[in-house]
A = this chain, B = another copy of it.
Amino acid sequence: MNIFTRPILEINLKNLLNNYAVLAKLAHPAVPAAVVKDDAYGLGAEIVAKLLYDKANCRTFFVAHAVEGAKIAPMVPLADIYVLQGVGSDSIDIFAQIPHLLPVISSPEGLDFWLKNRPDDDRKPAIQIETGLNRLGFREEELKNLSHDNLKMFGLVMSHLACGDEKDHFMNAHQLANFERLKHSYFPNTKASLSASDGVFLGTNFRQDMVRLGAAMYGINTAPYRPNQMQNVVSVKAPLLQVANLPKGDFVGYSATYRASSNRKIAIVSIGYGDGWPRSLSNVGKVFFKTNGQISEARIIGRVSMDNIICDVTEVCDIKVGDTAYLADDFYTLDEVAIDAGTIAYEIMSRLGKNPRFDRKYIK
């Protein structure tokens, strides 16, 4: 008998590259940019950025923080790297060292800081404008106060959709109208970007000059009103550490939240919230097994703990210690896990990927 102890995170770079190509084609003639912030949603920004730069000729990247940009900068020497959270005292030195790092300026205070502290070169930052999300971005009353010179200093004008994953949401048309009006009033000759992955599916107007491809590239369905056109990128597996009988009447897990109403068979799987598997899957999540050439489903019972989950495998044939539990895969994607967990796949992906506990494998 073979035994394993560590959970495995598999990242399919072939599918990621294919998703990028499909999205880029859909977005044409808009230029595709790759969003690799948050360590490429946890999947490894250095690897993903290098792949898209080398194999897909991607020349524009978005990160959240300057430190994230610094990590990928050597892999993408001729690309523009936009920094969404902008620039401050804790990042200006990084901008000074990396000429192809460009801040996204979202407030008058941010602009003021940039003008006073910017490196002595001709790089052009982006400006973010507010169109309805009410997050980062210049409001119109602030745009009115910008000088003619300042309005011309930006290489890109951008905004972000609040409800791009709902095809007919009134906010989409509302934000598009706001964006086009503000762009034409204040930035008539500046390249424009309104949409992330979700906007790619909303039609030509939403694509503008550049689309920012993130979630969909990583396999998340950003157009959930129709079947996912993307291929799955993330698979999560974990070994069974133990298979045991659970007598009728026995409790399972912390706070004894599950009680067996009949004799059951349980399996202890080596993954928990310490690995990023959501605790909100307690008593509701699913785990899958491949035995005898078919896929069987088992339910998580009791609370998810830091290192383990417990599942009811009474109906799963021929299961034994050392077998593999499938937590997420083509047949049960992170989008589906997220529905069971009461969140979105973005949050789970971000937790998993950066987690050093996984034995991380890239499929190339």
Cα–Cα, bound, A165→B322 (Å): 32
**A315 CB to closest chain B CB, in angstroms?**
18
| Stretch from A20-28, A104-112, A184-192, A203-211 contacting the other chain | A104-112
A331 at the interface (CB under 8 A from B): no
A306:B350 contact, CB within 8 angstroms: yes
Give A343 to B340 CA distance when docked, in angstroms. 15
Q: By the criterion CB–CB under 8 Å, are B268 and A135 in contact?
A: yes
Q: Indicate if A354 sits at the interface (CB-CB under 8 A).
A: yes
B162 touches A256 (CB 8 A): yes
- State in angstroms the CA–CA spacing of A42 and B60 once bound together: 33
Expressed in whole angstroms, the minimum distance between the Cβ of A225 and any Cβ of chain B is 13
| A276 interface residue (CB < 8 Å to B) | yes
B134–A171 touching, CB < 8 Å: no
Asked if B241 and A107 make an inter-chain contact with CB atoms under 8 angstroms apart, the answer reads yes
Task: Give Cα distance in the complex from A200 to B150, angstroms.
Answer: 63
- Output the least CB separation between A214 and chain B (Å): 9
Q: Which of A1, A66, A106, A109 has the most CB atoms of chain B within a 10 A radius of its CB?
A: A109
Residues 179 to 236 of chain A near chain B (Cβ within 8 Å)? none
A356 to B256, CA, bound (A): 34
The answer to whether residues A351 and B37 also contact, given A306-B64, A321-B109 and a CB cut-off of 8 A, is no
Which residues of chain B are near A6, meaning CB under 8 Å? 65, 67, 85, 90-91
Contacts of A34 in B (CB 8 A): none
Tell me, yes or no, whether A147 is within 8 Å of chain B by CB.
no
Q: Which residues of A contact B (CB under 8 A)?
A: 1-6, 37-39, 64-68, 84-91, 106-107, 109-110, 112-113, 130, 132-137, 139, 162-163, 165-166, 169, 171, 239, 241-242, 244-246, 250-256, 266, 268, 270, 273-274, 276, 279-280, 302, 305-308, 310, 320-322, 342-344, 346-347, 350-351, 354-357, 359
| A5-B85, A107-B321 given; 18 more Cβ-contact pairs under 8 Å | A5-B65, A64-B274, A64-B307, A90-B359, A106-B241, A107-B244, A109-B242, A134-B251, A134-B302, A135-B252, A135-B268, A136-B268, A136-B308, A166-B255, A169-B256, A276-B351, A279-B344, A279-B347
